[in-house]
Structure 1
Amino acid sequence: MRPLSEAGGVGRERSIHLRGEVLVLTEDTELIGAQLVDGGTGPATSELLRAPLMNSISTDEIIPGWCCYWYDEKLGDYAYLGLRGKPFAQGAVKSFAPQVIVSGEAKGCGSSREHAVYAEKYAGVEIVFARSFERIYQQNCRNVGIITCDDFGALDALLAGEELPLGAFTQRANEIERAIIDLGGLFGFNRETRNGAERDVRSAFSVKRPLNAVEKIIQRRLSSRNPCGDSESVRIGESYFAEADVRFSHEYVTPMAAGMFVRQFGADAVLAEPESCYFFQDHLSLAESVLKRRDNGLELIERVENLGRRQQEFAALSGGNFIGSSEMGGSRAICHNYILEHVARPGDMIIGTDSHTCTAGAVGALAFGVGATDIANAWYNREILVKVPEVIKVNLVGRLRQGVCAKDLMLSLLAHPSIEGSRTLGKALLFGGRGGEGLNVDERATLCNMAVEAGAMTGMFEPDHVTYDYLGRRSPASDGGGAAVSDENAEYSAVVDIDLALIVPMVALPGDPRNSVPLASVPEGVRVDKVYGGSCTGGKAYDMDMYASVFELARARGVAVPDGVQAYIQVGSEDVMRYAVERGYIDLFRDVGVSVLPPSCGACINAGPGVSESPAEVTVSAQNRNFPGRSGPGQVYLASPYVVAATAVAGWLSSVEDMFTPRADS
């Protein structure tokens, strides 16, 4: 691919031709390894493209979590080191130096880590072809100058030796997206379109129309560079720069983004409204206990400490809010729990360097994850590029039965015919209906948190009396902010009615949260080695209530966690720990043989007690995702707090009803 300067500069469309290698990621990992190990003498690309392509390649697989302790060109050595089956060694992709990478549906699911696209970039990748893309991954690619394309006709033309204009790869993009790609990324776009530069890129609007709550928040937060007239409304599929109310990052990403910030805006640049910026040390606060057991543990621990120091220094210099370690050990809070407990308000636009930023949608905020480039840019001017999503309205009716909770509901939604597969990619889930009134804010947070597991941009509840009761009890108490409520005739891409009374206990089988099935359909006798109740999804106050309700039954019957099973409950914040202590839950958990952990992302990100140590280990977890390698090499089942607690006591994957039933093979 020729640089922009060689293609004639601004105003002349550059052209692209195939001059390097093509790496095809097939379901058969041996075919992937053959392409790299054989130095390109393996099967022909045309033959590989006829094989089934690998779907749902997560960012954990593109670059494992521990590799994110680096944020320079070293990332290229780690490209695809976490790919399922691990068919090649460190540095193999970089040595092959593919100009093009090809895969199937939902490329880049999971974490928002921009390290993944930098790993590809530093390994030589310029174009990524896939049948479909996850939103954050695609935006991260665009921001750093990697082209993404779902038109395999363009791939065929490249393979045939044709030289194609850039527009052949960006036909589905809107004008701003095309301009960002053409100008080499977000920072290049800003240089060419601000401060009197030649390039003038404008967002289009539709005539004034009824808006849903998601669209209303976007329209209210529009930046001055794309003002909306009184007779206009934002248009679905169009991108606009909007001003975020809250911006946050964690220690995985802050150092990378801080380097970008200084390089792009200068050593003397300051954060816009630093009081609305938050810096969390939550992901790696318990990592040392896991890393010290690894061969290169001392080096990894040093890298983790360096990330923490650099983040704390940047937060101190910038004047932002630093949320660091806790006296009890671990962190003061996981970022999502803290934002929900203390910061988010209805109508806010919240961005964070984590895909589960959408947790704050539980109180009616429009919250979504971004990468390092986006947060660095937003630190400077509060602006974030937002593509107006199609919205799926999820209408909840009835009530959940006893022993069933929001986690079961979300796992059911992941298998729903209107939501499964790629039907929700880039869309927003807007929860409503009378049934939602029976869900407290912690349960709503579980649904919003895991909307991203469905490929959605975000999840959100319209605020109601449950929301305002919660805000009034917060410390400090908060008002309703700029709450957004959908217009009566607002537009939705689909309306999905869910009868809560029909939801049953669910479980996600190992490998992907979307492998969701009723627990009763899983063959009996799944023995477990570890049980983990925690993370931003499973470490809230109401989650503690659910764990405790099961463990109370166990203690009353004199039953505890059996030998050979390690069980952990991890609180999501200091507030949750106080809640659990006041109710006697901590003593209860310990009485039945459960280890209690302080706040941290911990095992969910393969950085704390509860991670698996071998491929043979089986874990049942209340966390939100179970992509290969995310929480260690073992097999991870996802389940509700009720099922997690029952499984801990039974020693095998169990419902509450079955946890005291002896197994025939025990």
Structure 2
Amino acid sequence: MKLTGRILWLTDDPAHVEQQLAGQNPEFDSAAPPALHFGVNTDAMINGAACTLGYTGEILGPYFLQNFKDSVNVDSVREGGFQVVVGGDAYGSGSSREVAVVAHQGAGIELVVARSFQRIFQENMVYAGLPFTTDFGVIDRLRAGEDLDLASLSQALPPFFRAVSEAGGLMPYGTKVLAGEVGPTYELERAAAPMTCIEKIVAAKAWRGKDQPFGIAAVEPGDQILCEADFRGMHEYTGGMVMDLYQQEWGDAPIHQPDLAAAFEDHFVLIDTDTVPLSVKNKRLAPARELAKQMIEVCERNGIRLHGPGRLKQGVCHRIVVEDYARPGDIIVLTDSHSPTAGVMNAFAFGVGSTAMAFALRTGMIPVTVPKTVRVWVEGDARGVLSPKDLVLHLIGDPFFREEHWRESPTDTCVIQLGGPGLDQWNVDELSVITNMTVEGGLMTGIVEPCKPIREFLQATRGQDYAERLVAPDEGARYVKTIEVNLDEVPLTVATPGDSRNRKPLTEVGEVAIHNIVIASCTGGSLADLRAAAEVLRGRSFADNVRVTVTPSSADVAEAARKEGILALFAELGATVSAPGCGSCIGNGPGIPFEGETTASTTNRNFDRRMGAPGPVYLVSPAVAAASAVTGKLTDPRTL
């Protein structure tokens, strides 16, 4: 690659971005550039509305970075002739949407340079063939006229990533795996060693080669292992792309164990709700229905079970996986970054892109970079007020996670392993908020050590406690860090607008007027969440000029909340109570901010325009959301 085009520096200063789009080519020092934007996220790379249009570069390229810094217009990047994009730390934060990579390619981007990359986005670049590097010296080499061998960049990658690149991508690599033409890229004969929960799961499910039994004695952080997958899932944002990739490589070849896969119609089911702005429906409804139709057709043709309206249980995929599918010791993957929700079940659950899912559907395996582990040991008393939402916002906003102090190399990954007596005062609903939101802290996932809430949940919902499957860490397992948390010292915490890692104690936020309250999503729509909000609201009323939207996370949650009178309470107070689904979190349902509104939401992500419209979004617990609905400002429920 020779630099025949331009370099787009994604700086913190919008003026720099605007100047480049206007035709200027700043000669920033690659060794000391201006402050680069932290966490350029996948919603910024390709917004939710554009995602409904399709999944090819031709369709998505014009929308790359639309509205970034309120400076980028449709087709600004492609028409500007940009060939290289430069970002800061945590490039690719957020969703697992592989279309973010496709949008780069469709906009003419041939190389991405950033301080660090988030795990799913980095995997998607490897599997889809978009070159990237953390070496800013490459910029100087390109400026000097060097013809850069992009393939050589893969030589800095670990062995599995190199093998995939040399094979031409993950799909052709999968064909070689199935044919027995390639074997494991890692050592099989290893000495046993103490391991963390996730290391033990990976070791037990490690591929040893064609027609060989799974399992090796030990793994360690940084190993790249092909693992047997226990459950694979996708939804309508991704299902069409997954099966299109599958068909391009393998045609009508059968899916490996279709009974261990499912598809979920959950992300678009609420777009046509009455309170969704007409402007949103006009942009998203028709193409969203087309994507859903594509997924339904390919799933019916391939024998994949379908969840959604008029089919199997309706609700957010992550909640249904916890209710019906996840078991301790499983490896669980879905084409959604919030798949770590199921880590609450003592499972290794994580999000993947569309290419990785297509690979998993055909081979039954998923690539895993063995993560480093931070053990979080929880003690103290939440006193019925502090919630897991407060705890996880407090954790991921800590500089150790926000600044990725655990990272030593570009391909490192990290997880949180939760243990301690403090967990026993919460149930699985509540603890799943922590594992879900680990991804918001730049982590691969979270996993809960065997504990009373898991056993009680399994006994109540499955009729057994799966004691033989529970995976406990070994004595002597190695951790990057052990963090001891005393809940008595954790404040009620919010995430201020822009990023879930923008933590602040509620007491330090000041008086913030709130107009839009959203109690919903895989981190805010469980029965425990609805109960917590209802407890605050009983005997009270909403403040004037406050809108409230409530969306149960599954049909089971909705039915239980109906029986307890919770949904009736919300409705009587004037809230919009919707059917189960994943909607307002991504601007696809009721609760989308109106012009001039500030939102308090129990969802997990508050990137700019993430909820489908401009306007600041604060992430809060259900109790704080309910108290804020009563007062019309961010409020500690204990003050009511």
TM-score tier after normalising by the smaller chain length = over 0.9
Give the equivalent residue in structure 2 for 1:236. Answer: 221
C-alpha contact (below 8 Å) 1:132/1:422 kept by paired residues: no
C-alpha contact (below 8 Å) 1:22/1:45 kept by paired residues: no
Structure 1 position 442, deviation (Å): 1.1
Structure 1 position 170, deviation (Å): 3.9
Give the equivalent residue in structure 1 for 2:258. Answer: 274
Q: Give the 5 Å matches for 1:483-498.
A: 483-498=470-485
Secondary structure of the structure 2 residue equivalent to 1:535: coil
Range with greater deviation from structure 2 (26-35 or 274-283): 26-35
* Separation (CA, whole Å) in 2 of partners of 1:457 and 1:231: 22
Give the equivalent residue in structure 2 for 1:580. Answer: 561
Over 3 Å counting, the alpha-carbon distance change for 1:291 and 1:147 in structure 2 is farther
Secondary structure of the structure 1 residue equivalent to 2:120: helix
Give the equivalent residue in structure 2 for 1:91. Answer: 75
Output one character per residue of 1:429-455: Cα deviation in whole Å (capped at 9) or x when no partner.
000112122221112101000000111
Q: Do structure 1's residue 78 and structure 2's residue 50 form an aligned pair?
A: no
Output one character per residue of 1:146-189: Cα deviation in whole Å (capped at 9) or x when no partner.
12211112332232233445576346521111222344321233
Secondary structure of the structure 2 residue equivalent to 1:567: strand
Give the equivalent residue in structure 1 for 2:469. Answer: 482
Q: Percent of pairs identical after alignment?
A: 34
Q: Do structure 1's residue 66 and structure 2's residue 49 form an aligned pair?
A: yes
Secondary structure of the structure 1 residue equivalent to 2:523: helix
Q: Do structure 1's residue 457 and structure 2's residue 444 form an aligned pair?
A: yes
Range with greater deviation from structure 2 (410-419 or 504-513): 410-419
Q: Give the 5 Å matches for 1:257-406.
A: 257-266=242-251, 268-289=252-273, 293-295=277-279, 297-298=281-282, 300-325=284-309, 332-406=314-388
* Separation (CA, whole Å) in 1 of partners of 2:221 and 2:283: 47
Alignment partner of 2:589 out of 608, 612, 616: 608
* Separation (CA, whole Å) in 1 of partners of 2:623 and 2:79: 48
Give the equivalent residue in structure 2 for 1:125. Answer: 109
C-alpha contact (below 8 Å) 2:174/2:363 kept by paired residues: no
Alignment partner of 2:574 out of 593, 610, 627: 593
Alignment partner of 1:28 out of 13, 17, 25: 13
Output one character per residue of 1:593-636: Cα deviation in whole Å (capped at 9) or x when no partner.
3222211111101111101132x310000000101110121110
Which sections of structure 1, spanning at least 5 residues, go unmatched? Answer: 2-16, 660-666
Secondary structure of the structure 2 residue equivalent to 1:207: coil
Give the equivalent residue in structure 2 for 1:210. Answer: 194
Secondary structure of the structure 1 residue equivalent to 2:15: helix
Structure 1 position 331, deviation (Å): 7.6
- Residue type at the aligned position of 1:532: V
Q: TM-score, structure 2 length as denominator?
A: 0.94
Output one character per residue of 1:345-387: Cα deviation in whole Å (capped at 9) or x when no partner.
0000000010000000101010000011011111111111100
- Residue type at the aligned position of 1:56: G
C-alpha contact (below 8 Å) 1:413/1:420 kept by paired residues: no
Over 3 Å counting, the alpha-carbon distance change for 1:434 and 1:30 in structure 2 is same
Structure 1 position 297, deviation (Å): 4.2
Q: Cα RMSD (Å) of the superposition?
A: 2.3
Structure 1 position 481, deviation (Å): 6.1
- Residue type at the aligned position of 2:27: A
C-alpha contact (below 8 Å) 1:219/1:228 kept by paired residues: no
Give the equivalent residue in structure 2 for 1:185. Answer: 169
* Separation (CA, whole Å) in 2 of partners of 1:505 and 1:409: 8
- Residue type at the aligned position of 2:393: L
- Residue type at the aligned position of 1:80: L
- Residue type at the aligned position of 1:37: A
C-alpha contact (below 8 Å) 2:184/2:207 kept by paired residues: no
Range with greater deviation from structure 2 (88-97 or 138-147): 88-97
Over 3 Å counting, the alpha-carbon distance change for 1:259 and 1:219 in structure 2 is same
* Separation (CA, whole Å) in 2 of partners of 1:444 and 1:296: 33
- Residue type at the aligned position of 2:304: G
C-alpha contact (below 8 Å) 1:147/1:181 kept by paired residues: no
- Residue type at the aligned position of 1:624: N
C-alpha contact (below 8 Å) 2:422/2:487 kept by paired residues: yes
Give the equivalent residue in structure 2 for 1:538. Answer: 524
Output one character per residue of 1:193-233: Cα deviation in whole Å (capped at 9) or x when no partner.
65354x76622365321111100111111124387999842
Over 3 Å counting, the alpha-carbon distance change for 1:192 and 1:640 in structure 2 is same
Structure 1 position 28, deviation (Å): 1.4
- Residue type at the aligned position of 2:433: T
* Separation (CA, whole Å) in 2 of partners of 1:232 and 1:644: 47
C-alpha contact (below 8 Å) 1:360/1:367 kept by paired residues: yes
Structure 1 position 482, deviation (Å): 2.7
* Separation (CA, whole Å) in 1 of partners of 2:536 and 2:7: 53
* Separation (CA, whole Å) in 2 of partners of 1:296 and 1:342: 33
Over 3 Å counting, the alpha-carbon distance change for 1:453 and 1:382 in structure 2 is same
Structure 1 position 339, deviation (Å): 0.4
Secondary structure of the structure 1 residue equivalent to 2:394: helix
Structure 1 position 483, deviation (Å): 2.3
Structure 1 position 491, deviation (Å): 1.0
* Separation (CA, whole Å) in 1 of partners of 2:12 and 2:250: 43
* Separation (CA, whole Å) in 2 of partners of 1:47 and 1:405: 44
* Separation (CA, whole Å) in 1 of partners of 2:586 and 2:80: 29
Structure 1 position 18, deviation (Å): 3.2
Q: Do structure 1's residue 467 and structure 2's residue 426 form an aligned pair?
A: no
Q: Do structure 1's residue 621 and structure 2's residue 621 form an aligned pair?
A: no
C-alpha contact (below 8 Å) 2:623/2:637 kept by paired residues: yes
Over 3 Å counting, the alpha-carbon distance change for 1:42 and 1:163 in structure 2 is closer
Range with greater deviation from structure 2 (113-122 or 86-95): 86-95
* Separation (CA, whole Å) in 1 of partners of 2:617 and 2:224: 37
C-alpha contact (below 8 Å) 2:30/2:136 kept by paired residues: no
- Residue type at the aligned position of 1:35: Q
Give the equivalent residue in structure 1 for 2:410. Answer: none
Over 3 Å counting, the alpha-carbon distance change for 1:326 and 1:500 in structure 2 is farther
C-alpha contact (below 8 Å) 1:62/1:82 kept by paired residues: no
- Residue type at the aligned position of 2:389: K
* Separation (CA, whole Å) in 1 of partners of 2:152 and 2:245: 30
Range with greater deviation from structure 2 (349-358 or 124-133): 124-133
